[in-house]
Amino acid sequence: MSTALTDLISGCKKGEARAQEKLFLEYRDALYTTSLKYCRNVEEAQDNVHDAFVIVFETIKKYKGAGSFAGWMQRIAINQAVKKYRNKKNEQLTEDPSWFSVAEDEPKWAQDCDLDQLLEAIQQLPDQYRLVFSLYVLDDHSHQEIADKLSVSIGTSKSNLHRAKVLLKKSLANKLMTKPA
């Protein structure tokens, strides 16, 4: 960890507004990018970044310097997005055994679209599908970890991942077919 970052963290631990502002300006874009993967839209992602920074500043005294500081903050942003999802979740998906199998060979439909199209399609997924897809595909969590984090069964995690992939495939196929040549 660089001396500048150590000094910045130290200033934040002391509650110095200038250090907090500098830390915010330094890391807001990274946390925003992370939040976009887990939030439905830009406004939710911005709110998540704000909430994550509130938690960062409240808990920064607990940061001991082990591991990446940016990684620690990203974990807070992800956990905050998951927490919001769990709090607003009104309906529990029923477990349907026919959806449990997840194809091992990924289709190559995603290769024909750009990153912005993919991110937009992910953001349009229903909350439960988007979270499972992001945790499994983007952050490499196991179905057991996802089940524990979201308080669902492993089967529900697998089902939601499969359904997310189906919806993404349809959404991206439609975008690619309507894409101007």
pLDDT digits 0-9 by tens, 4-36: 999 999 999 999 999 999 999 999 999 999 998
Spatial separation of the C-alpha atoms in residues 38 and 168, rounded to whole Å: 15
From CA 131, how far away is CA 39, in angstroms rounded?
A: 8
H helix and E strand count, the chain: 8, 0
pLDDT of 150 strictly over 50: yes
List the one residue out of 30, 33, 55, 35 whose CA is nearest residue 47: 35
Please give the model's pTM, rounded to 2 decimal places.
Answer: 0.58
Calpha distance 170→164 (Å, rounded): 10
Residues 125-147 pLDDT 10s:
888 888 899 889 888 889 999 98
- Sign of the CA dihedral running 147, 168, 86, 67: positive
What separation in angstroms does the CA of 138 have from each of 24, 122, 130, 142?
A: 24, 11, 11, 11
112 and 82 in a common domain: no
pLDDT, residue 7, reads 93
Say whether both 68 and 114 belong to one domain.
no
pLDDT score of 106 more than 50: no
- For CA atoms 138, 143, 144, 148, give the dihedral sign: positive
The tally of domains found in the chain comes to: 2
pLDDT in tens, 28-85: 999 999 998 888 888 999 999 999 999 999 999 988 887 889 999 998 998 898 888 7
Does 82 share its domain with 110? no
d(CA 33, CA 14): 28
Domain span holding position 132: 97-177
Residues 72, 9: one domain? yes
* pLDDT at residue 137 in the model: 87
The confidence score (pLDDT) of residue 89 equals 61
Q: In this structure, are 61 and 38 located in the same domain? A: yes
Residues 108 and 134 in one domain: yes
From CA 57, how far away is CA 169, in angstroms rounded? Answer: 40
Return the pLDDT at 100.
36
Confidence of residue 113 (pLDDT cuts 50, 70, 90): low
Measured between alpha carbons, how far apart are the two ends of the chain, in Å?
A: 48
